[in-house]
């Protein structure tokens, strides 16, 4: 059996083994302690770094638990919420807010309940602008443990943004800034105003919306979207697109321009410029070019030195000259020899004084033949009034000249025929009248009343026929002779007319007044006398029996003409007859009314007035009287 000594030895060995194990455990604990000490020191450093970072930052930060109690905050956060170290552990909802943020509590409770982050710009006491951000605070396992509030002073940034907004708002064109995804980041007032005035949708073209999606709503949207994307992706330096955008009130065109934002920021600037005026100018130029080229009249354009710079197709067709024949040369190349130097000197003097000249000229074709042309030359000046071009428009009037010549021959033949026919008709008519008178005297009282009446009818018819022939002779004489143009006093011509009608004036008790007639005319005085005599005689003739004729003659200067008005108190003329009365053989009354008449007198007035280079018109109030006004050239 073992001895006590053996037991002690065994016990000693066990204790020694236990001591070794305790020593190993102690060493392990020492190592763990050192490791923990290092961790604590690291955590202390991290905590110190975080404290220093929080203290050094200009961003106000508040850490909250799930109930909204404050766990930690940076000092600068006190600018936004009234708090101190003593408020740690208190509910933030119980503290005073220095921000103009009415929905602060509701937004924060939403975030603490697991809602999305909130970002809001609010005005702070003292005029600062704070960007308030609320984000959920999560643990390493993404468990919601509270919220983190940050308050960033964006006063200067906001002022810069406002200045930028003011700058782009001052632009008259529509401007927007989009980021690399096409989302609209900034728009100017013109962009918003254009959308509002033209039925645009803010949900498509306002800030925060994707412009590429807005583009696809138009008829050319796919092409436009591709162009915008090419700029955003760096595949193109710019993109331009012209498009119509017609409002109910006007026809409009716009130019869309897309340019990349420089500096590596990404995105692009989109502008829409109203180019309606430019498009209208282009359209006007296109129309002008079409009119220029397709006009039936020849057109020649020269520079200020009279060198030809352009001619149209009608010029070539009329003259035979091609454009290359005359470009760079002066119009003297197709001037004929029919006009002397004085003619052209007068032409250019008038052109230089008034800026325009019109008249008939003879030009020369390429084959050397001359032709008559109606020519208009105009000056073209720039915005400062300097002469830059001459424009000459002409038409070949060869056919018109030939027609005028033939017409003059025909008119001369007709006038000669009327004169001869009227003159020859009077001879047998005088014989008829004479023999009827002899029959009356020979038979005397031996015939019955019916026969006397028949003979009276025949004599009256012969008398009226004679008057008609006399009027026809008078009408045919107008224009047969050459015009005897001279200066004469208008009042003297009126006095001569009144003297010729002296008997009729006295017998009818007519009163005549004149005003403003001390003017000098320059035309054929016989034509003037013929018009005056017919108008005054008619005023006496066509006056009702219950009143005495009253005639007022007034004259006035009307530019280069003299207007003479003859007003009466006669029976008047219906307005629908104003044109008819100036035609041949037109009477508004019975053959025997108002002393009869041939219906040629006013036709004579019209022809005489036109021969003088004037016109004749009438105004009238039926039952009250008429006013006839004719014009004739005034002496310069």
Highest mean pLDDT among 36-50, 118-132, 147-161: 118-132
Q: What is the pLDDT of residue 192?
A: 80
Give the confidence band of 594 by pLDDT, cuts at 50, 70, 90.
Answer: very low
For the chain, the C-alpha Rg in angstroms (whole number) is 55
| CB environment 236-274: b (16+ within 10 A), e (fewer) | beebebeeeeeeeeeebbbbbbbebbeeeeebbbbbbbb
The percentage of the chain sitting over the pLDDT mark of 70, rounded to a whole number, equals 83
C-alpha closest to that of 636 among 520, 503, 552: 520
C-alpha closest to that of 302 among 369, 238, 228, 377: 377
Q: What is the pLDDT of residue 64?
A: 93
Predicted confidence (pLDDT) at residue 590 exceeds the cutoff of 50:
no
The arithmetic mean of pLDDT across residues 24-46, rounded, is 78
How far is Cα 5 from Cα 17, in angstroms, rounded to an integer? 18
The arithmetic mean of pLDDT across residues 409-425, rounded, is 67
Q: What is the pLDDT of residue 95?
A: 92
Backbone angles phi, psi at 308, to 5 degrees: -70, 130
Fold equal for 54-153 and 295-396: yes
The arithmetic mean of pLDDT across residues 13-27, rounded, is 76
Weakest-pLDDT range from 198-202, 357-361, 406-410, 537-541: 198-202
Mean residue pLDDT across the chain: 82
How far is Cα 451 from Cα 55, in angstroms, rounded to an integer? 146
Give the confidence band of 10 by pLDDT, cuts at 50, 70, 90.
Answer: confident
Q: What is the pLDDT of residue 341?
A: 87
The two three-digit tokens of residue 156, written as one number: 């200067």
Give the confidence band of 488 by pLDDT, cuts at 50, 70, 90.
Answer: very high
Predicted confidence (pLDDT) at residue 596 exceeds the cutoff of 60:
no
Q: Whole-prediction pTM value?
A: 0.42
Backbone angles phi, psi at 136, to 5 degrees: -65, 145
pLDDT tens, residue by residue, 156-215: 776 777 777 777 777 788 888 889 888 888 888 888 877 666 555 555 677 888 888 877
Query: How many CA atoms lie within 13 Å of 221's alpha carbon, on the beta-carbon side?
Result: 9
Query: How many CA atoms lie within 13 Å of 367's alpha carbon, on the beta-carbon side?
Result: 7
Highest mean pLDDT among 135-144, 307-316, 477-486, 570-579: 307-316
SS (H, E, C) 33-48: HHHHHHHHHHHHHHHH
Q: Bigger pLDDT: 419 or 154? A: 154
Domain 483-633, CATH number (from 3.90.1150.10, 3.30.565.10, 3.30.930.10, 3.30.1360.40): 3.30.565.10
Domain 402-476: assigned CATH number:
1.10.287
**In the CATH hierarchy, which fold is given to the domain comprising 157-280?**
Beta-Lactamase (3.30.450)
The percentage of the chain sitting over the pLDDT mark of 90, rounded to a whole number, equals 26
Weakest-pLDDT range from 162-176, 274-288, 377-391: 162-176
Weakest-pLDDT range from 64-68, 196-200, 389-393, 433-437: 196-200
Predicted confidence (pLDDT) at residue 631 exceeds the cutoff of 90:
yes
3-class secondary-structure state, position 77: helix
Orientation of helix 490-500 relative to helix 525-541, angle to 10° = 50
Q: Bigger pLDDT: 3 or 323? A: 323
Give the confidence band of 220 by pLDDT, cuts at 50, 70, 90.
Answer: confident
Give the confidence band of 251 by pLDDT, cuts at 50, 70, 90.
Answer: confident
Give the confidence band of 334 by pLDDT, cuts at 50, 70, 90.
Answer: confident
Q: What is the pLDDT of residue 293?
A: 82
- Are the C-beta atoms of 206 and 188 separated by less than 8 Å? no
Give the confidence band of 460 by pLDDT, cuts at 50, 70, 90.
Answer: low
Predicted confidence (pLDDT) at residue 628 exceeds the cutoff of 90:
yes
Residues 6+ away with beta carbon under 8 Å from 3: none
The arithmetic mean of pLDDT across residues 532-559, rounded, is 89
DSSP letter for 249, please: S
> Can you give the residue ranges of every domain in the chain?
54-153, 157-280, 295-396, 402-476, 483-633
Count other C-beta atoms under 10 Å from residue 454's C-beta: 12
Q: What is the pLDDT of residue 1?
A: 55
pLDDT tens, residue by residue, 86-99: 999 999 999 999 99
Domain 295-396: assigned CATH number:
3.30.450.20
Q: What is the pLDDT of residue 503?
A: 86
Q: What is the pLDDT of residue 272?
A: 87
Q: What is the pLDDT of residue 294?
A: 82
Predicted confidence (pLDDT) at residue 255 exceeds the cutoff of 60:
yes
How far is Cα 215 from Cα 178, in angstroms, rounded to an integer? 13
Give the confidence band of 421 by pLDDT, cuts at 50, 70, 90.
Answer: low
Report the CATH architecture of 54-153.
Answer: 2-Layer Sandwich (3.30)
Q: What is the pLDDT of residue 162?
A: 73
Predicted confidence (pLDDT) at residue 66 exceeds the cutoff of 50:
yes
Q: What is the pLDDT of residue 93?
A: 93
Give the confidence band of 555 by pLDDT, cuts at 50, 70, 90.
Answer: very high
Residues 6+ away with beta carbon under 8 Å from 158: 121, 129
Q: Bigger pLDDT: 248 or 333? A: 333
How far is Cα 587 from Cα 88, in angstroms, rounded to an integer? 118
């Amino acid at each position: 059996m073992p001895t006590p000594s053996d037991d002690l030895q065994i016990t000693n060995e066990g204790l020694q083994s236990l001591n070794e194990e305790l020593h190993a455990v102690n060493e392990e604990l020492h190592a763990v302690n050192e490791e923990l000490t290092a961790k604590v020191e690291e955590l202390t450093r991290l905590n110190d770094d975080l404290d220093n970072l929080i203290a050094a930052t200009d961003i106000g930060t508040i850490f909250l638990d799930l109930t909204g109690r404050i766990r930690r905050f940076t000092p600068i956060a006190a600018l936004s919420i009234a708090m101190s170290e003593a408020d740690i552990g208190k509910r933030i909802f119980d503290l005073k807010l220095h921000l103009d943020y009415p929905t602060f509590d509701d937004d924060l409770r939403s975030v603490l309940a697991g809602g999305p982050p909130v970002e809001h710009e609010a005005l702070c006491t003292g005029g600062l602008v704070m960007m308030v951000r609320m984000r959920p605070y999560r643990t390493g396992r993404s468990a919601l443990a509270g919220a983190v509030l940050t308050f960033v002073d964006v006063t200067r940034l906001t002022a810069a943004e406002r200045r930028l907004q003011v700058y782009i708002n001052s632009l008259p064109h529509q401007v927007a800034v989009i980021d690399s995804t096409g989302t609209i980041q900034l728009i100017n007032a013109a962009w918003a105003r254009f959308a509002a005035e033209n039925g645009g949708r803010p949900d498509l073209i306002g800030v925060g919306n994707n412009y590429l999606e807005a583009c696809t709503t138009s008829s050319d949207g796919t092409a436009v979207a591709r162009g915008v994307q090419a700029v955003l992706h760096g595949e193109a330096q710019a993109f331009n697109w012209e498009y119509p955008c017609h409002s109910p009130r006007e026809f409009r065109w716009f130019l869309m321009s897309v340019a990349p934002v420089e500096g590596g920021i990404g995105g692009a600037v989109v502008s829409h410029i109203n180019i309606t005026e430019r498009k209208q100018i282009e359209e006007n130029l296109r129309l002008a070019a079409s009119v220029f080229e397709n006009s039936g009249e020849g057109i020649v354009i020269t520079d200020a030195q009279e060198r030809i710079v352009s001619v149209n197709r009608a010029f070539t067709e009329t003259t035979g000259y091609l454009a290359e024949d005359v470009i760079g040369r002066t119009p003297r190349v197709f001037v004929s020899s029919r006009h002397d130097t004085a003619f052209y000197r007068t032409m250019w003097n008038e052109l230089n004084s008034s800026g325009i000249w019109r008249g008939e000229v003879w030009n020369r074709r390429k084959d050397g033949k001359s032709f008559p042309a109606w020519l208009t030359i105009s000056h073209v000046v720039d915005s400062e009034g300097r002469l830059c071009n001459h424009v000459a428009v002409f038409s070949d009037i060869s056919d018109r000249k030939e027609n005028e010549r033939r017409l003059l021959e025909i008119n001369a033949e007709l006038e000669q025929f009327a004169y001869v026919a009227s003159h020859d008709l009077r001879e047998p008519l005088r014989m008829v009248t004479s023999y009827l008178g002899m029959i009356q005297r020979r038979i005397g009282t031996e015939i019955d009343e019916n026969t006397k009446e028949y003979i009276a009818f025949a004599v009256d018819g012969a008398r009226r026929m004679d008057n008609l022939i006399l009027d026809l002779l008078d009408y045919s004489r107008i224009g047969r002779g050459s015009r005897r143009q001279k200066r004469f006093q208008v009042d003297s011509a009126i006095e001569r007319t009144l003297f010729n009608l002296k008997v009729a004036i006295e017998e009818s008790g007519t009163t005549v007044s004149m005003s403003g007639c001390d003017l000098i005319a320059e035309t054929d005085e016989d034509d003037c006398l013929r018009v005056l005599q017919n108008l005054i005689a008619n005023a006496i003739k066509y006056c009702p029996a219950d009143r005495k004729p009253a005639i007022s003659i007034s004259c006035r200067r009307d530019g280069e003409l003299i207007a003479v008005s003859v007003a009466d108190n006669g029976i008047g003329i219906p307005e629908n007859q104003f044109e008819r009365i100036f035609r041949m053989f037109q009477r508004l009354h019975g053959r025997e009314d108002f002393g009869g008449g041939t219906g040629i007198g006013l036709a004579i007035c019209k022809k005489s007035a036109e021969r003088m280079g004037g016109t004749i018109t009438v105004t009238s109030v039926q039952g009250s009287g008429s006013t006839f006004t004719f014009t004739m050239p005034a002496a310069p």
